[in-house]
Structure 1
Amino acid sequence: MPQAVRFDNYGDIDVLEVRDVPRPSPSAGEVLVRVRAAGINPGENTIRIGALHERWPATFPSGEGSDLAGVVEEAGSAVPTWSPGDEVIGWVDTRGSHAELVVVPAAHLVPRPPSVPWEVGGSLFVAGTTAHANVRAVGAGPGDTVVVAGAAGGVGSLTVQLLRHAGATVIGLAGEANHAWLRAHGVLPVTYGDGVRDRIRAAAPDGVDAFIDNFGDGYLDLALELGVAKDRITTIIDFAGAARTGVQAGGMAGSATVEVLGELVKLVEAGELEVPIAATYPLAEVRAAYRDLMRRHSRGKIVLIP
C-alpha cells in the first residue's frame, strides 16, 4: 500500500505519522501523481498545532502538504492534457502532498522541464506564489528601495530575487551566514537584531519605500518607524500586528494560480530564479524535517522525498 503523512489530533511534531493508506483514485478531472518531491511550509505547522482552527479547521485523520512534483500514473476520464509518464509540478488544496501517491486537479499542474530538479519543482508553489504576491502587494519596481525581513528563508529567498527582477533595490535582513548568498543575488544584506533600524538607515540614506515582513517579531513597527507608508508594508505572518497597525497582511492570495506557477517555472528554467534547497528528508523522517524547519534558520526550502 502507498504511504502518506497523517495525524489524528492537533499537536506538536510528534503527532505526525507515516501510514499505509488506500491507493487513491482520480475522478474525471483529476490525475494520480506519484510524488517525487514535496516541500514543507511553516503554515502547515501552524495548522497542525491548531492555531488556525477557526480559519482552516482540520478533519481527522488529516494529511498535510500542498507543494509537489512527480510523475503522472493515471489520468481521469475527462483529462486530455496529461498522460501516464508525464512529469509535472503543481499543488493540491486537500492537504495531501506529503505522500507517495496523491490525486491532483489536472488544472493545478504544469510540465516539469528537465532542467528543473525534482526538489526545486516540488517546493515551488507555496513559497513562489507567496513571494510573487509579496512583490505585487507593495507595488515594487524600478526606483524603489525595499526591505525584506527573513530574506534568506523559503519565501524570503524568492521574494528578494523577484524584487530584483522587478528592478527594485533590495535590502535583505538576515544572519551573517547568509550575507554572501544575498550579495551574490544583488541584495544588500543587513544583520537583524539590536540596532537594525540604524543599519537600515545607513544602507538606505534616501529612505525606504516598501517593507516586506516574512518573519514577524515586531518588524511592522520597524517599518512604520522607517517612514514606510502603510499601503506599502505587507506581512505573511504577523496578522495580529497587521490588524493593530493597519498594514497589509497577505500570503499567496491573487498569485496562487497555475499561470503564476508556470511563470515561476520558466524563470527557474532560464536560470533567473534560484530556489535554494536547505535540506531533503525521506518521507519517513517527516518529524525531523519539521524540527529543522521550525528552527527558522534554514536558507531556502526543506523538502520531503517520498
Structure 2
Amino acid sequence: MRAIRLHSFGPADHLVHEWTEDPVPGPGQVRIAVAAAGVHLLDTALREGLSGPYPAPAELPTIPGREVAGTVESLGEGTDPGWLGKRVVAHIGMVPGGYAELTVTEADKLHEIPPGLDEAAAVAMIGTGRTTLGILAFTDLGPDSVAIVPAAAGGIGTLLVQYAKNAGATVIGLAGGPAKVAAVRANGADLAADYTLPDWPQQVGAYLDTIGRRATVVYDSVGGATGRAAVDLLGPGGQHIVFGWSGEGLHDGQPLTFTDQELSERGITSEGVLGPVMLRKAGGLRALETRALAEAAAGRLRPAVQRFPLAEAAAAHRALENRATMGKVVLIP
C-alpha cells in the first residue's frame, strides 16, 4: 500500500509518501480501505517529537493519523463477519496509522457511517464533532445567550457557530483574515470580526451596545491577547470555556489565568473542559461519537472540510501550521 511515513522527527518535509507493507488485522480487528483520514493540529506536534494528550511515537518509522473512514475489506480472527463491506469511521486512538490506503483497528471502535454522510464528513465528526459536543455539555445555550467564538473558521469553531444558532443564540465569530471572516459570516454568525485587526474588540463592543447585551459565553481555544479581549466582553454571570490556547504561534500559546478575586469581581467563571472532566460530563467518548454522527446525518451540524490528496500530507501540515486552513483537514488516498 501507499502511506505517509515519518522516519525522523522534524518539519513537515519529513512526512514521506512511499510504499510499505499492507497491515494485517489481528483477532478482533478489521482492515479498512481508507477513503478519508483526518489531520489534527496535534499531529504536527507529534511529528516534531512533542508529547501532548498522546505520547510521541516511541519507534520510527511510523504512519501518523488517528481518524479514518472507509470500507471494511478484511477481518481478523473472531471478528463479527457483519462488519465486512460496511462503510465505517473510527477514532483509532493511541495507535496511529491513518495516513494510508489501508489501516487496522479494533472492531469495537467502529461506527457504521449513516446513509447520506460522506467519509470526509464522518472523519470530521468522529474527532472534531465529538469534541465540539463535549465542549457544549458545559453550557446551556438558548435565545438569551450571546456566544463569542474565537477561531470560528476552524473545525470546532464552525460547529460551535452552527449549534449555537440552532439553539437560538446570538453568535459572534472571530477569524483571521477576510476569507475566513466571510466563511464565518456565511456559516450563520450574527457578527463576524477579524481578530487580526487591532480594533476588533471595539467593533464587537459596538455591536453588543447596539443589541443592548453583553456576551454570556466565550468558547476559547486561542488564549493570549485575543482570548483576554474576548473575556473582557463578558457580562456578569458569563462563562469562559477553555479548550485550547493556540495563541499567535503553533505550540507557544498561553492559557489565560484568573485569580479567584478577579473572577469574583467580574462575576464570571473560567473552566477548562478537556480530558476526564469532559468525559464525565458528556457520558464518554462512544456516546459523543454516536451523537456527533447522528447530528451530521440529520443535517443539524455540517462540518467544514478541506481536502488534500494523501501524497500532499506535508502540504496539509504546513497549511495547518501557517493557519491557512478552514474547517477540518482531511487526506484523501
In structure 2, the gaps of 5 or more residues are 247-251, 260-269
2:203 paired residue number: 199
**Runs of at least 4 residues of structure 1 off by over 6 A?**
none
How big is the shift at 1:81? 7.0
Q: Which amino acid aligns with 2:193?
A: V
How big is the shift at 1:37? 0.6
2:255 is paired with a residue of what secondary structure? helix
Please, which moves more after superposition, 51-60 or 282-291?
A: 51-60
Instruction: Say whether residues 1:293 and 2:306 are aligned partners.
Output: no
Alpha-carbon separation, structure 2, partners of 1:164 and 1:241: 29
Please, which moves more after superposition, 245-254 or 119-128?
A: 245-254
Residues 55 and 27 (structure 1), Cα distance of their counterparts in 2 relative to 1, 3 Å cut:
closer
Alpha-carbon separation, structure 2, partners of 1:240 and 1:183: 26
**Does structure 1 conserve the Cα–Cα contact (< 8 Å) formed by 2:31 and 2:102?**
yes
Alpha-carbon separation, structure 2, partners of 1:258 and 1:53: 21
**Does structure 1 conserve the Cα–Cα contact (< 8 Å) formed by 2:208 and 2:214?**
yes
In structure 1, the gaps of 5 or more residues are none
**Does structure 2 conserve the Cα–Cα contact (< 8 Å) formed by 1:157 and 1:300?**
yes
1:76 paired residue number: 76
Alpha-carbon separation, structure 2, partners of 1:200 and 1:81: 55
1:177 paired residue number: 179
Alpha-carbon separation, structure 1, partners of 2:53 and 2:302: 35
Alpha-carbon separation, structure 1, partners of 2:105 and 2:245: 27
1:85 paired residue number: 85
CA shift digits 1:79-127 (9 cap, x unpaired): 3374221111221111211111111222222112341122222333221
How big is the shift at 1:217? 4.2
1:212 paired residue number: 219
Instruction: Say whether residues 1:282 and 2:309 are aligned partners.
Output: yes
2:37 is paired with a residue of what secondary structure? strand
How big is the shift at 1:151? 0.2
Q: Size of the alignment, in residue pairs?
A: 304
Q: CA RMSD in A?
A: 2.6
2:292 paired residue number: 264
Summarize the alignment of residues 110-129 of structure 1 with structure 2, pairs less than 5 Å apart.
Answer: 110-129=111-130
Q: Which amino acid aligns with 1:186?
A: G
Instruction: Say whether residues 1:242 and 2:247 are aligned partners.
Output: no
1:155 is paired with a residue of what secondary structure? helix
Alpha-carbon separation, structure 2, partners of 1:242 and 1:125: 26
Query: Pick from 208, 220, 232: which aligns with 1:225?
Result: 232
Residues 81 and 261 (structure 1), Cα distance of their counterparts in 2 relative to 1, 3 Å cut:
farther
1:10 is paired with a residue of what secondary structure? coil
Instruction: Say whether residues 1:21 and 2:34 are aligned partners.
Output: no
Alpha-carbon separation, structure 2, partners of 1:144 and 1:226: 13
How big is the shift at 1:240? 6.5
Alpha-carbon separation, structure 2, partners of 1:59 and 1:167: 47
**Does structure 2 conserve the Cα–Cα contact (< 8 Å) formed by 1:82 and 1:106?**
no
Instruction: Say whether residues 1:190 and 2:193 are aligned partners.
Output: yes
TM-score of the two chains, using structure 2 as the length reference: 0.81
Alpha-carbon separation, structure 2, partners of 1:60 and 1:81: 33
Please, which moves more after superposition, 286-295 or 184-193?
A: 184-193
Residues 99 and 179 (structure 1), Cα distance of their counterparts in 2 relative to 1, 3 Å cut:
same
TM-score of the two chains, using structure 1 as the length reference: 0.88
Alpha-carbon separation, structure 2, partners of 1:69 and 1:53: 24
Alpha-carbon separation, structure 2, partners of 1:26 and 1:273: 33
Q: Which amino acid aligns with 1:52?
A: S
**Does structure 2 conserve the Cα–Cα contact (< 8 Å) formed by 1:89 and 1:109?**
yes
Alpha-carbon separation, structure 2, partners of 1:237 and 1:133: 17
How big is the shift at 1:268? 1.9
Q: Which protein shows a greater Rg?
A: 2
